[in-house]
């Protein structure tokens, strides 16, 4: 009933809310006054009737007047307000006032006692994990999502049922969600935020390393309900999928860095020489292809690199097969994935972000951990490149990365620290800080500094509990200690009173965490601590978007049907024709070389051919002239 009244109240225009609230308060006070007159007024009348009856004992008291008060509460209430001087029995009104005073004092004393008991309990429990208790708050999150203002994102409720929200303008300062397996960081944190992003018109990019089918179905439903397209990418061979090409955007240098970083081919120290050697072949190759406007994939690059002669025909550079053997081997598994080797991919991140659509990358790491991790890094760096063409006024983009530790790398430092001006908002979710520690201390520091909002669901390790507790800050506690000293006094007369007792009292202020580490260790599912820079940390309560039966049903469904993109009628200039011409020319050059060797006078009949490049790319598709 109260929820319905609240919902109706929030639906009123803002200028009518305060007058409506005043009317409701006055009405409530009037009802309480009438009930008070009915109950305590009648009780006062009975008390006076029995008191008068004692004067005429043993006769029975006359209760007719008291009964009249019970049957006429409205009349009595009006008389006590407006006709006090005309009352036939003013003693009833006086006793009614006394009864109200007594009950008011008793209620106030009870509130003070409960408050003091709770305060004493709170100060005594913050260190003892056995005594930590959490309030159980149940609520319908969907109602709060509907009533949350357009310019704010709903995070949860505090223990007093007050909504906890963050401004939409500050969400570009990124959110970090942490919690162990099973604590609900996806269902309670990531999915509700993504749902709100879709409703608020933002574009949404989700990278999920554990395949949360419930989240996929919910976001697909939400996208289509809001008139948005929903693209789904998965490596699961049993499911239908949209295609994505990690080489579809960017400069030649950017693409090379994207792929080599994802494949962990960027070495440091003395081994950096090998990175330079592979880049010396990779960059000219992509530069040559981009110059001709050719659309290519990882499979195309892998095929070309397997033939050094073909690389020479395309770039004019002699290549030692051993120098690019590592790059070729690293590309091998990705050349066989049809989902990422389409010259005309379904997923165009630039267009998706411009239109405000939704794309979900289902990179279930259980299928291929290394491949999923590498693809996640490619997508992140693709988004970083596209950020260069965006402004703070561009459509907001929410980028949610669940199980973020699977793609954590040093290159991601540039992504999180430099994309705020592109109106990107990152939501990073992972299990523990130790997952990020493996990348490096500087990487952990970058994540901590560049995420203004932190939502902690649980701490599985003591180190994390201590760290999160330090995030909350400290408060001063006064600790009182007592000391007692007993000394014997000497005198001429010895007696039992020659002992002197000295009692000392010492007050010491100590700093203790606002939230003790034990609280983070003991938090149950649905409970979290929200830490925002510049604000006090607070406990928050969360709720599922759907009931368990609906959740189980959604998880049994196949993935949503892939979105069919609008394809341009113009044909795509693929690499196939271009490579075939280069291969044909390579065969011709070999035949010419053999004939030249047979007619040459080189000692030892060595088959040597000196090829001089003469305008290798005079025009697209024309043969290359070779002078011997």
Question: Shortest CA distance to 258 belongs to which of 132, 349, 192?
Answer: 349
Burial 58-71 (b: 16+ CB within 10 A, else e): eeebeeeebeebbe
Question: Shortest CA distance to 398 belongs to which of 184, 181, 187, 192?
Answer: 192
To which H or E segment does residue 7 belong?
helix 2-11
pLDDT of residue 19: 86
Is the pLDDT confidence value at 5 over 90? no
In a shared domain, residues 93 and 156: no
Mean pLDDT of 244-265: 93
pLDDT of residue 181: 85
| HSE (side-chain half, CA atoms, 13 Å) at 308 | 10
Contact 384, 419 (CB under 8 A): yes
Cα separation, 536 vs 383, whole angstroms: 33
Cα separation, 399 vs 174, whole angstroms: 9
Q: Residue 98 sits in which domain range?
A: 2-125
Mean pLDDT of 159-173: 93
Contacts of residue 532, Cβ cutoff 8 Å, sequence gap at least 6: 166, 452, 453, 454
In a shared domain, residues 105 and 184: no
Q: How far is CA 120 from the centre of its chain?
A: 35
- pTM greater than 0.85 (yes/no): no
**Does residue 289 sit within a domain?**
no
pLDDT of residue 484: 76
In a shared domain, residues 511 and 585: no
pLDDT of residue 293: 87
**Does residue 277 sit within a domain?**
no
pLDDT of residue 120: 59
Please report the DSSP string for 262-316 in residue order. Answer: HTT----GGGHHHHHHHHHHHHHHHHHHHHTT-B--HHHHHHHHT-HHHHHHHHS
The values of phi and psi at residue 17, to 5°, are -70, -45
Pinpoint the alpha helices (H) of 126-251.
141-147, 191-199, 213-225
pLDDT of residue 593: 54
**Does residue 176 sit within a domain?**
yes
**Does residue 316 sit within a domain?**
no
Mean pLDDT of 65-71: 85
**Does residue 229 sit within a domain?**
yes
- Residue 565, SS3? coil
pLDDT tens-digit series, residues 304-323 = 998 888 888 888 888 888 88
The values of phi and psi at residue 535, to 5°, are -130, 160
Cα separation, 175 vs 404, whole angstroms: 12
pLDDT of residue 613: 35
> Could you tell me the pLDDT band of residue 269, with boundaries at 50, 70 and 90?
confident
In a shared domain, residues 144 and 51: no
Question: Shortest CA distance to 462 belongs to which of 129, 131, 185?
Answer: 129
> Could you tell me the pLDDT band of residue 495, with boundaries at 50, 70 and 90?
low
Question: Shortest CA distance to 244 belongs to which of 370, 403, 350?
Answer: 350
> Could you tell me the pLDDT band of residue 498, with boundaries at 50, 70 and 90?
low
Strand partners, 503: 484
pLDDT of residue 409: 84
**How far from each other are the two terminal CA atoms of the chain, in whole angstroms?**
94
pLDDT tens-digit series, residues 337-358 = 999 999 899 999 999 999 999 9
Strand partners, 477: 510
Rounded to the nearest 5 percent, the helix, strand and coil shares of the chain are: 50, 15, 35
Contact 404, 208 (CB under 8 A): no
Cα separation, 273 vs 522, whole angstroms: 50
At which of 534, 561, 588 does a domain end? 561
pLDDT tens-digit series, residues 79-96 = 888 888 878 888 888 999
Beta strand 358-362 pairing with 230-234: parallel
pLDDT of residue 119: 64
Cα separation, 254 vs 258, whole angstroms: 6
Mean pLDDT of 125-148: 82
Mean pLDDT of 450-462: 91
In a shared domain, residues 554 and 609: no
Peptide bond into 251 cis (omega under 30): no
At which of 97, 125, 153 does a domain end? 125
pLDDT of residue 308: 85
Residue 89 gets the label, from left (phi > 0), alpha (psi -120 to 50) or beta, of: beta
More confident residue, 162 or 309: 162
Cα separation, 239 vs 359, whole angstroms: 16
The maximal CA–CA distance of the chain, rounded, in angstroms, is: 152
**Does residue 345 sit within a domain?**
no
Mean pLDDT of 186-193: 95
In a shared domain, residues 163 and 76: no
At which of 91, 125, 159 does a domain end? 125
Question: Shortest CA distance to 53 belongs to which of 67, 45, 63?
Answer: 63
**Does residue 457 sit within a domain?**
yes
Question: Shortest CA distance to 328 belongs to which of 276, 393, 376, 282?
Answer: 282
In a shared domain, residues 138 and 100: no
In a shared domain, residues 58 and 7: yes
Query: Per the structure, how many domains does the chain have?
Result: 3
Is the pLDDT confidence value at 329 over 60? yes
Contact 431, 460 (CB under 8 A): yes
Average pLDDT value for the chain: 84
Is the pLDDT confidence value at 566 over 60? yes
Cα separation, 508 vs 480, whole angstroms: 6
> What is the CATH classification number for the domain harbouring 539?
3.40.50.300
pLDDT of residue 526: 92
In a shared domain, residues 387 and 463: yes
In a shared domain, residues 467 and 520: yes
The segment with the largest mean pLDDT, out of 375-384, 455-464, 589-598, is 375-384
pLDDT tens-digit series, residues 197-234 = 999 999 999 999 998 999 999 999 999 999 999 999 99
Question: Shortest CA distance to 215 belongs to which of 340, 401, 356, 352?
Answer: 401
**Does residue 580 sit within a domain?**
yes
More confident residue, 367 or 624: 367
Which residue carries 């004692």 as its tokens? 54
- Percent of residues, the chain, with pLDDT higher than 90: 46
Is the pLDDT confidence value at 122 over 70? no
In a shared domain, residues 538 and 433: yes
In a shared domain, residues 22 and 140: no
């Amino acid at each position: 009933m109260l929820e319905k009244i609240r919902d109706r109240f929030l639906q009123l225009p803002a200028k009518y809310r305060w007058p409506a609230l005043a009317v409701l308060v006055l009405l409530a006070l009037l009802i309480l006054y009438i009930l008070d007159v009915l109950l305590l007024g009648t009780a006062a009348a009975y008390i006076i009737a029995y008191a008068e009856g004692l004067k005429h004992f043993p006769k029975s008291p006359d209760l007719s007047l008291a009964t009249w008060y019970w049957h006429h509460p409205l009349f009595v209430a009006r008389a006590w307000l407006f006709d006090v001087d005309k009352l036939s029995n003013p003693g009833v009104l006086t006793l009614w006032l006394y009864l109200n005073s007594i009950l008011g004092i008793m209620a106030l004393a009870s509130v003070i006692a409960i408050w003091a008991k709770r305060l004493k309990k709170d100060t005594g429990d913050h260190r003892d994990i056995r005594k930590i208790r959490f309030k159980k708050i149940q609520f319908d999150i969907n109602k709060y999502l509907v009533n949350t203002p357009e310019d704010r994102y709903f995070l949860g409720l505090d223990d007093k049922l007050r909504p906890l929200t963050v401004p939409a303008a500050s969400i570009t300062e990124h959110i970090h969600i942490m919690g162990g397996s099973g604590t609900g960081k996806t269902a309670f944190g990531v999915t509700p935020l993504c749902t709100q992003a879709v409703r608020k018109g933002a574009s949404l990019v989700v990278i999920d390393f554990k395949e949360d089918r419930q989240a996929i179905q919910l976001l697909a439903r939400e996208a289509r309900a809001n008139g948005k397209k929903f693209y789904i990418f998965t490596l699961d061979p049993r499911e239908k999928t949209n295609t994505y090409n990690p080489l579809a955007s960017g400069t030649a240098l950017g693409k090379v860095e994207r792929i080599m970083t994802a494949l962990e081919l960027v070495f440091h120290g003395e081994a950096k020489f090998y990175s330079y050697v592979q880049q010396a072949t990779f960059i000219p190759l992509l530069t040559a292809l981009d110059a001709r406007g050719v659309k290519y994939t990882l499979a195309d690059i892998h095929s070309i690199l397997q033939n050094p002669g073909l690389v020479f025909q395309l770039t004019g550079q002699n290549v030692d097969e051993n120098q690019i053997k590592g790059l070729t081997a690293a590309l091998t598994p990705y050349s066989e994935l049809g989902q990422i080797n389409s010259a005309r991919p379904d997923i165009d991140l630039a267009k998706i972000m411009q239109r405000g659509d939704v794309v979900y990358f289902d990179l279930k790491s259980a299928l291929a951990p290394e491949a999923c991790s590498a693809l996640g890094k490619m997508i992140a760096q693709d988004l970083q490149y596209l950020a260069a063409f965006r402004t703070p006024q561009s459509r907001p983009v929410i980028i949610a990365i669940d199980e973020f530790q699977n793609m954590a790398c040093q290159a991601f430092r540039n992504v999180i620290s430099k994309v705020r001006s592109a109106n990107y908002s990152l939501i990073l979710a992972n299990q523990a800080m130790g997952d990020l520690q493996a990348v490096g201390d500087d990487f952990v520091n970058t994540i901590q500094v560049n995420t203004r909002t932190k939502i902690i669901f649980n701490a599985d390790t003591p180190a994390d509990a201590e760290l999160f507790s330090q995030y909350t800050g400290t408060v001063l506690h006064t600790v009182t200690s007592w000391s007692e000293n007993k000394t014997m006094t000497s005198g001429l007369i010895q007696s039992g009173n020659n002992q002197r007792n000295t009692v000392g009292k010492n007050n010491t202020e100590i700093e203790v965490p606002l939230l003790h580490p034990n609280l983070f260790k003991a938090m149950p599912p649905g409970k979290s601590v929200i830490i925002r820079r510049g604000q006090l940390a607070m406990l928050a309560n969360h709720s599922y978007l759907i009931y368990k039966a609906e959740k189980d049903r959604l998880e049994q469904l196949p993935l949503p049907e892939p979105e069919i993109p609008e394809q341009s009628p113009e044909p795509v200039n693929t690499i196939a024709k271009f490579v075939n011409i280069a291969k044909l020319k390579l065969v011709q050059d070999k035949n010419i070389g053999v004939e030249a060797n047979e007619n040459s006078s080189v000692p030892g009949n060595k088959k040597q051919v000196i090829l001089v490049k003469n305008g290798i790319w005079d025009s697209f598709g024309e043969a290359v002239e070779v002078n011997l």
